[in-house]
Amino acid sequence: MSEQQPLLPSAATTTPATTSSLRKRRIITVVAPLVLVAATVFVVLFGERRPKEPLALANYYLKTSPVIDGHIDLPILARSLVGNDINKLDLRSRAPGHVDIPRIREGQLGGFFWSVYTDCHAEQDGPDFLNPSYHVRDTLEQIDVALNLIDKYDDTFRFVKTADEAVAAIKAGRVASFLGIEGAHQLGNSLAVLRQYYTLGVRYATLTHSCNNAFADSGGFITPVNETWGGLSTFGQDLIKEMNRLGMLIDLSHVSDKTAEQAIELSRAPVMWSHSAARGLNNISRNVPDELLSKIGQGRKQLDGVVMVNFYPAFASKTPAEVDVAYIADEIEYIAGKTGRAHVGIGSDYDGIESVPKGLEDVSKYPHLFAELIRRGWSKHDLAGLAGGNIIRVLRGAEEVAHKLRKRAPSMAKYSKRHDLDPRPLP
């Protein structure tokens, strides 16, 4: 793995305009060295130098490698607090929850996945399996409120669909805004719906939330739920293949161990955990076990991927009240010790968690986490990957796989049929 480069150039470069005028060329020839000397003296005397204090150095690094958070629940906060009436939600001042524009800027947040979430139901014979259409409605409303907020604050956010668009948005000073759906129950048991979500800009789909669905088994919340499929259903295997073909990232947060293992084995594209913690530090089913972490990498028998670390204290530790910046840094180092530093990222779960670590109260506090890792010897290249470079690499990998697959199979017509799980008669 080559060293991770900053997403933004470290300094702007300018090129003087050419001219056919000999006089202008002579003026430039004489003046340019003087300007260069003056600029050099100014930088030496007054310009920004690389700071030594960890927090100042973290902010310095994050200017060129800002955070791209894998999971922020701002859309569901807007739904629950103001009923999706975004005129009642002011992000330019102190907003409820963990996210607003002033704190975004303070925390050097350069991009994030707006989590599009609707609740699921645990019963196999309940509405998730037999009457899932309202999930599609609610998901579309969540996509709509996210896009409307992005449009309302278009001087801050920019809607993006690709890795290159994200980098371009960050270079333009905008917060790159992706969409992700948090559970395949939101597909309404239909791969046609998946394709329409992709068209609308969704770039990852979590295979389950806290309950089983038509595609896969969930890991539950704190303890496992009873298996329905033993991992992926046959329909879920089709889902993995179609996500690969589209270029939509497979998100393994929330899924059962068998589901994750089978998805890793089947997928031809990199995978992600958008907001997960380590089971080695807190033995609950929601967290990722060491044996799955060991499957993420770039070796011959491994699959490239990224584990984006969740900040929720109840997931992170058996003693949530003790979770602070240093503990989350411990978690990042624990996961990186299993996967390598090129396979970790930030997936805070802000606006979707009931409590936060001490020192990581909201999006303004990311630099404090990076300062802690600087104290532990993380290089600027490691930090650039953690901040956003690793998820950008993984997304590019999925895009490259999709490009190859679409050349061979430009459509997936066989997956357009209604699935056997849908018992409703055709009209």
Catalytically annotated residues: 71, 73, 182, 209, 254, 275, 349
The answer to whether residues 335 and 293 touch, using CB atoms and an 8 Å cutoff, is yes
Residue 296 half-sphere exposure toward CB, CA atoms < 13 A: 29
Instruction: At 79, list the tokens.
Output: 């739904």
* Residue type, position 109, single letter: L
Instruction: At 301, list the tokens.
Output: 């028998």
Q: What is the 3-state secondary structure (H, E, C) of 348-396?
A: CCECCCCCCCECCCCHHHHHHHHHHHHHCCCCHHHHHHHHHHHHHHHHH
Among all chains, which residue has been given the structure tokens 């080695």? 280
CA–CA distance, 140 with 97 (Å, rounded to integer):
23
Question: For residue 171, what are the contacts with CB-CB under 8 A and spacing of at least 6?
Answer: 7, 8, 9
CA–CA distance, 308 with 316 (Å, rounded to integer):
13
Question: For residue 141, what are the contacts with CB-CB under 8 A and spacing of at least 6?
Answer: 79, 84
CA–CA distance, 249 with 194 (Å, rounded to integer):
12
What are residue 306's phi and psi, to 5 degrees?
A: -145, 135
CA–CA distance, 373 with 384 (Å, rounded to integer):
12
| Rg over CA atoms, the chain | 23
> Angle at which helices 74-82 and 133-152 pack, to 10 degrees?
100
The answer to whether residues 112 and 158 touch, using CB atoms and an 8 Å cutoff, is no
The H or E element that residue 287 is part of is none
* Residue type, position 117, single letter: Y
Nearest one of 186, 161, 165, 1 to 76, comparing CA atoms: 186
